[in-house]
Amino acid sequence: MPLPTPTPTRINLSHVRLLTSLAVAAALTNGSPVSQVIPIAGCPAGRVRWKSTCAGTLKGEFCSSDGETVYATAQPASVAIVANTENYFDFNPRGEAYFKITFTPSADGAVTFCDVCGL
């Protein structure tokens, strides 16, 4: 599925509940990372809110304009996730167009929610 093209006048991020592999009730398998790339062009800051039935690691990564290449530097810190506990992290783009959210579970479980909000 192609990503929508962000533009300086259209912030695609206000409050998004993620779909595909990070959708509500999506199955998570121990050690198998799941990701979704979202458009963030024009967004001055954002927050990822997460809850799942299993523990693991949640990370966000800024991507190049192709939405596929992850930058090697200036990424937000990963967050250790406790099962059945709401967690969040903030991100502050500096002109990047896309942001990749990845969860790596340390047990089998399911996504309770993954919301992304533009601040």
pLDDT of residue 5: 55
pLDDT of residue 35: 94
For the chain, the domains span 15-118
The pTM for the full model equals 0.85
Reported as a pLDDT band with limits 50, 70 and 90, residue 1 is very low
Please provide the CATH number assigned to the domain covering 15-118: 2.60.120.680
Give percent of the chain above pLDDT 90: 61
Reported as a pLDDT band with limits 50, 70 and 90, residue 42 is confident
Give the pLDDT confidence of 62-82 residue by residue, as tens digits: 999 888 899 999 999 999 999
**H/E/C letters for each residue in the chain?**
CCCCCCECCECCCCEEECCHHHCCCCEECCCCCEEEEEECCCCCCEEEEEEECCCEEEEEEEECCCCCCECCCCCCCCEEECCCCCEEEEECCCCCCEEEEEEEECCCEEEEEEEEEEC
pLDDT of residue 10: 45
Give the pLDDT confidence of 8-34 residue by residue, as tens digits: 444 455 566 777 889 999 999 999 999
Whether pLDDT at 101 is above 70: yes
Stronger pLDDT, 4 or 61, i.e. the higher one: 61
